[in-house]
Amino acid sequence: MATIDAEISEESMSLAIDDIVYVAVGKDVGESKSTLLWALQNFSIKKVCLVHVHQPAKMIPLIGGNFPASRLEQHELREFRELERKIMHKVLDDYLLLCHRAAVHAEKLYIEKDDIGKGIVELMYQHAIKKLVMGAAAERHYSEGMMDLQSRKAKYVQQCAPSSCQIWFICKGHLIHTGTSTDAFADLDPFTLNISGEITGLELELSEIPDMEEESDLHTPDALEQNSVEQLYKQLDRAMEEAEKFKREAFEESLIRGEAEKTSIKALRKVDVLSKLRHPHLVTLIGACSEACALIYEYLPNGNLEDRLNCEGNTPPLSWQVRIRIATELCSALIFLHSSTPTSIVHGDLKPGNVLLDANLSCKLSEFGICLADHNTRNITQYHKTDPEGTFLYLDPHFLTTGELSPKSDTYAFGIILLQLLTGRPEFGLVKEIRDVIDEENLTSLIDPLAGDWPFVQAMQLARLALKCCQMERSSRPDLASEVWSVLEPMRDSCGPLSRFQFGSLQCQTPPPYFICPILQEVMQDPHIAADGFTYEAEALRGWLESGHDTSPMTNLELERFELIPNHALRSVIQEWLQQH
């Protein structure tokens, strides 16, 4: 091995100063960095070209599982592909930084292809690549004295590359193999390679013309017996196909049932968690519907933030003071979730559509993903259930590449919402637009005029804070409790007292209907959620069950189980209402 390295080192000294070495790099910088460093150390060159094959994802990684890209709407898929390319360029920029530190000029060359090996070969032919350095195998497969190529793409490139190109295969910083193409068709282009060995149209046509002697043999006794056997085989094939069809349908049915069971279990977990949470800016859980696996929350009359920013239904625009208050309230709710013990709670599906507004335009966060992040395992998600529609642009890029969710994932989505509060614009491309206008010192061109005369200093401060939250690198995002709150709280205080309506839920003299026990018809003191999804006074429902009933007092349907879940969140709201009345 040392001899091979020495030979390459000597050969590199003979390269012309304008020679370009192409280095194939993958999406994992940690894995491909050693290959790039080997090239930089072993070739006396001033220019490197990074070769990368971007594989568009066929399955979209979402919280709780993967979602087929083919099932997305065209605009959703387009948005996700743009985000994928943005992540790709960020990865390639990390490689460029390594080259810059080595005082080597570097360029990017990339292609989108489902197969990495075929993508590399296509680039080799398109750009007449003469010298290529690439990986021989994943680093975990490296062993001392290793001489053979291990990865499928490395073998494919070795076989199909043009003979004029010399290739160095590297693994974990060691030269494993070097040479040119070994394929007999190496000098042919990829199109020629694809059609080699195929039957021409003339050959196919001739092969289909039956021989006259063969035609006469079809009516002999042996031929008839053969036909009978063939019919039996055909019947057997049909029976096998039908059996396979039934087997496939049974498997799909079992998957549907299994998914329904998982959904039911997750809904119960969500009820258990939400019933214990109480915060002024978290929506209150009222009950649950077991048949639809749906949760029932308190009604908030002013809809959601997305509709209000778009002035849906001719609703009046939100003033800049209200927007700052909403940002501060939303931040406080996230800090509360992230600081929960014994495990922090990550919302996981943060977007304007999940931020509800009460009668006073105060915000309440809803549609929890309920991702429990274990502090001892780098805050990785344990479970989650969410609807994939419309959430891609708010998803943490780190999650899209690693599948790991953390409180900083909510920080990323919170940054996007801050920009929307500031501009009133859709989320697509908003981060880049804000960066551009800040660089051009023209932020006022994007500030939503419907918000009123937003103080420029505050607007600039909010824009810069939002961009920090939207950093691609998770570690570069600010901490909500210390850094973000210290900026938003003074902003909110500077807005002065906001006029408030006097018909909010807590100001009403008549208790909201969801405060009333369906059995006693009185305000509940100790609300509990039953298996039918309704909330009752615990003592009243226990009396109902102990009297011999096994059905729901509301639906008269048989209860699946008799255990009750305390609704601490609703109890806290009721107690607050009682204190004011």
371's enclosing H/E stretch is strand 371-373
Phi/psi region, residue 298 (left: phi>0; alpha: psi -120 to 50; beta: rest), is: beta
The SS3 call for residue 506 is: coil
The two structure tokens encoding residue 331: 């931040």
CB 410 within 8 A of CB 402: no
Q: What does the alpha-carbon distance between residue 229 and residue 223 come to, in Å, rounded to a whole number?
A: 10
Burial call 421-434: b when 16+ CB within 10 Å, e when fewer: bbbbeebeebbeeb
CB 417 within 8 A of CB 355: yes
The answer to whether 396 is a known catalytic residue is no
Q: What does the alpha-carbon distance between residue 271 and residue 277 come to, in Å, rounded to a whole number?
A: 10
Burial call 99-129: b when 16+ CB within 10 Å, e when fewer: beeeebebeebbeebeebbbbbbbbbbeeeb
Using the structure block, give the residue that is written with the tokens 């509301």.
554
Please tell me which residue in 349, 396, 410, 532 is annotated as part of the active site. Answer: 349
The SS3 call for residue 275 is: coil
Distance from chain centroid for Cα 44? 42
Using the structure block, give the residue that is written with the tokens 């806290």.
572
Find, among 25, 288, 27, the residue nearest to 170 by Cα.
25
Q: What does the alpha-carbon distance between residue 355 and residue 366 come to, in Å, rounded to a whole number?
A: 6
Specify the DSSP class assigned to residue 1: -
Compute the half-sphere exposure of residue 461: CA atoms within 13 Å on the CB side of its CA.
Answer: 16
Using omega within 30 degrees of 0 as the cis cutoff, is the peptide bond preceding 342 cis?
yes
Residue 133, C-beta contacts closer than 8 angstroms, at least 6 positions apart = 21, 22, 23, 24, 35, 36, 38, 39, 167, 168, 170
| C-alpha dihedral, 440 to 442 to 443 to 446, nearest 10° | -110
| C-alpha dihedral, 331 to 308 to 274 to 487, nearest 10° | 0
Using the structure block, give the residue that is written with the tokens 């790709």.
88
The SS3 call for residue 577 is: helix
How distant, in Å, are the alpha carbons of 30, 40, 162, 172 from that of 146? 21, 22, 25, 11
The two structure tokens encoding residue 170: 């590297």
Q: What does the alpha-carbon distance between residue 114 and residue 117 come to, in Å, rounded to a whole number?
A: 9
Q: What is the DSSP string of 114-135?
A: S-HHHHHHHHHHHTT--EEEEE
356's enclosing H/E stretch is strand 355-357
Catalytic center residues = 349
